Amino acid sequence: MLNLLAQIDEAVAAVRRRWPSTARAGIILGTGLGSLAQQIETEATLDYESVPYFPRSTSIGHTGQLVCGRLQGLPIVAMEGRFHAYEGYTQQQITFPVRVMKALGAELLIVSNACGGMNPH
């Protein structure tokens, strides 16, 4: 657990170097909802590769970046692209960005997704 906390601290420091604000909310944008990021008054954008210990987004349409800024005046951190177990990531890796958002100050987490059904009625 200590190693995990050190990793979170290192990731938070990398974000803070680019965005010193305190987040009030975190948003995980699912497939097809990346356009919400365009509504954010962007103050910083970080590719996942620039944040220590962040997994890499491999899903088509997931840009793989953190968008930091304000949405309706609320300071937020949004993930454009998320990670899945079927990509080979562990649960600790999948939840790591949420832990980082919490450490950045987020008290609210909004998670979106795309889903479908096969019932014709």
In a domain, residue 31? The reply is yes
Domain count, the chain: 1
In a domain, residue 116? The reply is no
27 contacts: CB under 8 Å, gap ≥ 6: 36, 71, 76, 77, 78, 79, 109, 110, 111, 112
The 8-class DSSP code of residue 24 comes to S
45 φ/ψ angles, rounded to the nearest 5 degrees: -130, 130
CATH number at residue 97: 3.40.50.1580
pTM for the whole structure:
0.87
In a domain, residue 117? The reply is no
Ranges in the chain, pLDDT < 70: 1-2, 31-34, 58-62
In a domain, residue 119? The reply is no
Residue 86's domain spans which residues?
Answer: 2-111
In a domain, residue 16? The reply is yes
The pLDDT assigned to 32 comes to 64
In a domain, residue 120? The reply is no
The pLDDT assigned to 115 comes to 75
The answer to whether 69 and 41 have CB atoms below 8 angstroms apart is yes
In a domain, residue 33? The reply is yes
The pLDDT assigned to 57 comes to 73
Amino acid at 88: G
The pLDDT assigned to 33 comes to 64
Q: Which of 103, 76, 92, 80 is nearest to 11 (CA)?
A: 103
> The tokens 């604000």 sit on which residue?
21
In a domain, residue 121? The reply is no
The pLDDT assigned to 84 comes to 81
